Structures are given as structure tokens and as C-alpha cells.
Amino acid sequence: MNQPPYGQAPAPNPPWGAPQSPPQAPVPPQGPPPTQPGKPPAWWGGYASIAILALSFLLVIGTIVAAVQSEQMGMTMTMITAGPLFFGLVGTIVAIVTKKNPKPSVAIGAPLGCGCLAAIVGALLVAVFFLAIFPSL
């Protein structure tokens, strides 16, 4: 006997003389509920990237103040500021690009993952510059 689609009433019972099948419980839909069409998933990766970008702009102001005080303090603050600045910039750009993606794993994970990778690469590049190239200038 064919089952009706989920949410619809079953067909009426057959006449008395016809063979009857045992009653069957409705089968609930399998898997996670789909997101509503037209509603993008949560944008937590974008919020985190923008928050770290705002923090890095405060660190840039602190770096400028430290560089006015002494060159060594400015170099140290620049190396500290590089990681959050690269995370915020790259993470925010990736968050804007992936904002409309219907998969929450992409919309949330891509900005955080790309931001972390950019923070590591940016901090290493700035450290190599200040520790290897800058002293010889």
C-alpha cells in the first residue's frame, strides 16, 4: 500500500470485503530541517572577523603611539598588530564573499579558517621583515 506524503491524511479504509494492511505510523522526515528559502545562515564568522578588524584598528593606533615613543617599541607593536590585522582584513573579505552561501559550514567556517591562515602568514612575514631585512637597511 502506498503511503501518503508526510503531513497528509491517509486514504480511507477499503470496503469490508477487501484485505486490509496493518496501520502504519507516519514516517518523520529524515536529516536536518532545511533552512528557509531566502534566509541565509547565521553570519557568526563575519561578526567575529569584523570584531577583530575593529580591535586591530585600535592596535594600529597603539602602534603609532608606540612608534612615536621609540623605534624598538614601534617594531614590537607592529609585530603584535600584524596577526589581528591580517585576520580581520582577510576574514571580513571572505565573510562578504561567502555571506549568501546556503551552507552554514561555509558561511561561518570559511572566514574563520581563512582569517587564521592569513594571521599566521602575515605575522610571519612581518616578523621576517623586522628581524632579517630591517636591521640591514
The domain ranges of the chain are 44-136
Residue matched to cell numbers 600584524: 82
Distance CA 65, CA 28 (A): 62
- Residue 95's H or E segment, with its range, is helix 71-97
Mean pLDDT for the stretch of residues 14-21: 61
pLDDT digits (tens, 9 = 90+) for 26-62: 766 666 655 566 565 667 888 889 999 999 999 999 9
Contact of 43 with 101, CB cutoff 8 Å:
no
Distance CA 105, CA 92 (A): 16
The pTM assigned to this predicted structure is: 0.67
Residue matched to cell numbers 484485505: 19
For residue 135, the 8-state DSSP code is G
Residue 127 has pLDDT above 80, yes or no: yes
Residue 2 has pLDDT above 80, yes or no: no
